[in-house]
Structure 1
Amino acid sequence: MTPNIAVLKNHGVPNSMILKLISNHPTTMMLNNSRISEIVAMVKEMGFDPIKATFITAVRVMSGMSKLNWEGKLELYRSLGWSEAEIFSAFKTYPTHMIVSEKKIRRGMDFFVNEMNCKPSSISKYADILSLSFEKRIVPRCSVLQVLMSKGLINKDLCLSRPLRVNEKDFLEKFVIKYLHRVPDLLRVYQGKMELLG
């Protein structure tokens, strides 16, 4: 572990960040020193700032993936319509989206593109939404948004990231309760008690 700590320090990672990594993800620091050196160099080359938490997160994510898995995930995003620039921009902003399972990524992208009419490039800007629970968050909330859009109550070009990211209380207040006088069944839609048609 000591040589790996030295690698991080030499690249300007603060002691507080290193301690956090050791405490929360000790297996990362147990990797072969040459592999850690390679990963840290790659992360820095991608433009991550060593003094920010995303640097350590990126190191952790990459250390948990083999080179083959990393390349496979890159190819998956390419096949789903993301450009090279979008893939790496998404990783730089939300490193953990790279460890979401292929099945979940495909399911989420299919839903957002084919059901919510989003462009793949727009999803790449908010890649963290791919890690959200499909059944518990994405579908219920998007069902409500679809109803509101169909009735002209919200803009069809609404960015999905905000309504999908907010906590339960805020979502209910801003997208359900606010419109109940116009759409009395909206709460039932959110709770999954009404099947949406079209």
Structure 2
Amino acid sequence: MSVTRCNVEDLNPSRIRTPQPPKALCLADAVTRRRRRRRRRRGDMLHLRNHLLPLLHAATSTASSSPLHLTHRLLSTAARSPFSVEHYLIATCGLTAAQARRASPKLSRLNSSSNPDAVLALLSSSAAGLDSLSLSRADLAAVVAAEPRLLRARPGTIARRIASLRGRANLSAPQIRSFLMSGGAAHLASSDVSPKLAFWVPFLGSFDMLLKILRRCNAILATDVDRVVRPNVALLGECGLGVCDIVQMTQTAAWLLTFNPERLKIVVRRAEELGVPTSSWAFKDAVCTVARNNEGTIAARMEFLRGTLGCSMDKLRSAISRKPSILGFSEKTLRGKIEFLLTKVQLETEYILQRPVMLTLSLDKRLAPRHYVLQALVEKGLIKNDVDYYSCVCFGNEHFVARYIDRHEDALPGLTDAYAAVHAGKSPAQSLTQHLKTDRYRRM
């Protein structure tokens, strides 16, 4: 029997070569160990804080300058909770609790106050130099509540964009403040809008007009000027609209200029199909109306008006060419106005078709209240029965009150207050008839 001899040194564990793990796994293990150590340290600190703080709170009532008090302060600092975005928005930015709750999800990546502090310094009165806008605390709160993501932007980028608003757009510090308060904060956080402001302010005629439009349509500053806005302005100009007409349209429908140019061409073609001449002042209304409603809605609305008024399509088209915006009202609203004019006021269909603007006026605040006032004045013999109803409803409210109510206040006491309540929407129009049927008026 043979025995195999082996070297004792070969059995030494230190000489046995084990396979080494990959380098990536070693790094991953190291990261995992570091994370575990940090969690253990945080757990130990919280455990220590939970056990010592009750004793420290009791000790602070005896001597605020004692070593135990100083230990309490050190432990409180060491165990300080992580950065709270919601608390920062309330304490530093001046937002309400509800505003902070809505804004904090947009700032979830913030883990310190260093970047927001730098941005706020550029906007507030605490910063010295040309880049400061000197916003008050209330203004800062309004700006941050409107666009919280501004606090995530790089301070250097914000400073360059503010300088560009001053230099390229030629805005003063008060104008920049007004711009931010009117919705411009979102654009300051995302891009440099000074080239677009350099176009819009001269085009609209004033910076104040730009602010007015921004409150209604902030998208104009997100639209490419050269590829979208200028071609749309040129297209409307080819239809016969002057610059003043386009600016006037922009005041109520600035979103039209943000359309893709091909889409606006389709809108213009549909407006022309309504029979509204491009040279007519009503063409602006036609473009805005068809832009808000699809072809099916417009066709259904025209068929409804034809059937409700009992007229031919040619006469209806003639009325629409004078006031295309009537196609923008719902069938329910139009039905109420038409039935009131035909049954209560007893107007002829032809009279309404010749004056389609009446269908755009409020039934509860203008058409009905003025009819009931005129009816009462006729019954009392204070005015003749040949007063033109259309002229009365087209008067401004002050003119109508001065001519038909204040003049007859002695004969119909209390009518002024009753009409004012109806016009303000505090009372229904029918309350005027009930008011005029009281015993006091019957005796008179």
Band of TM-score, shorter chain: 0.7 to 0.9
For 1:21-32, list aligned pairs within 5 A.
Answer: 21-22=249-250, 24-32=252-260
1:13 counterpart SS class: coil
2:333 maps to what in 1? 104
For 1:9-20, list aligned pairs within 5 A.
Answer: 9-20=237-248
Give the number of the structure with larger relative contact order, counting CA–CA contacts within 8 Å between residues 6 or more apart. 1
8 Å contact kept, 2:270–2:290: no
Aligned residues: 196
Cα distance in structure 1, aligned partners of 2:372 and 2:381: 14
Q: Deviations over 1:112-149 (max 9, x none)?
A: 11111111221222222223222222222111111223
**Inter-CA distance 144–8: structure 2 relative to 1 (3 Å threshold):** same
Cα distance in structure 2, aligned partners of 1:23 and 1:143: 35
Cα distance in structure 2, aligned partners of 1:86 and 1:154: 33
2:322 maps to what in 1? 93
Cα distance in structure 1, aligned partners of 2:235 and 2:417: 54
Cα distance in structure 1, aligned partners of 2:244 and 2:432: 48
Cα distance in structure 1, aligned partners of 2:292 and 2:366: 27
2:358 maps to what in 1? 129
8 Å contact kept, 1:109–1:120: no
Give the TM-score of the pair, scaled to structure 2: 0.39
1:117 counterpart SS class: coil
2:288 maps to what in 1? 60
Cα distance in structure 2, aligned partners of 1:16 and 1:186: 42
Cα distance in structure 2, aligned partners of 1:30 and 1:116: 43
Q: Deviations over 1:64-105 (max 9, x none)?
A: 110011011101110122432332233222222221222111
Q: Can you give the 5+ residue segments of structure 1 that lack an aligned partner in the other structure?
A: none
Cα distance in structure 1, aligned partners of 2:237 and 2:432: 54
| Pairwise CA RMSD | 2.9
8 Å contact kept, 2:369–2:432: no
Q: Deviations over 1:146-194 (max 9, x none)?
A: 1223345444453322211212221122212333455456446635355
1:118 maps to what in 2? 347
8 Å contact kept, 2:285–2:325: yes
8 Å contact kept, 1:86–1:125: no
**Inter-CA distance 152–87: structure 2 relative to 1 (3 Å threshold):** farther
Identity %: 23
TM-superposed CA distance for 1:20, in Å, is: 4.1
1:71 maps to what in 2? 299
What is the aligned counterpart of 2:390 among 161, 177, 189?
Answer: 161
**Inter-CA distance 103–34: structure 2 relative to 1 (3 Å threshold):** same
TM-superposed CA distance for 1:56, in Å, is: 1.9
**Inter-CA distance 156–32: structure 2 relative to 1 (3 Å threshold):** farther
Cα distance in structure 2, aligned partners of 1:22 and 1:65: 18
Cα distance in structure 2, aligned partners of 1:6 and 1:27: 16
**Inter-CA distance 26–105: structure 2 relative to 1 (3 Å threshold):** same
1:80 counterpart SS class: helix
**Inter-CA distance 63–182: structure 2 relative to 1 (3 Å threshold):** same
- Report the structure number with the largest CA radius of gyration: 2
Which residue identity lines up with residue 135 of structure 1 in the other structure?
D
8 Å contact kept, 2:326–2:360: yes
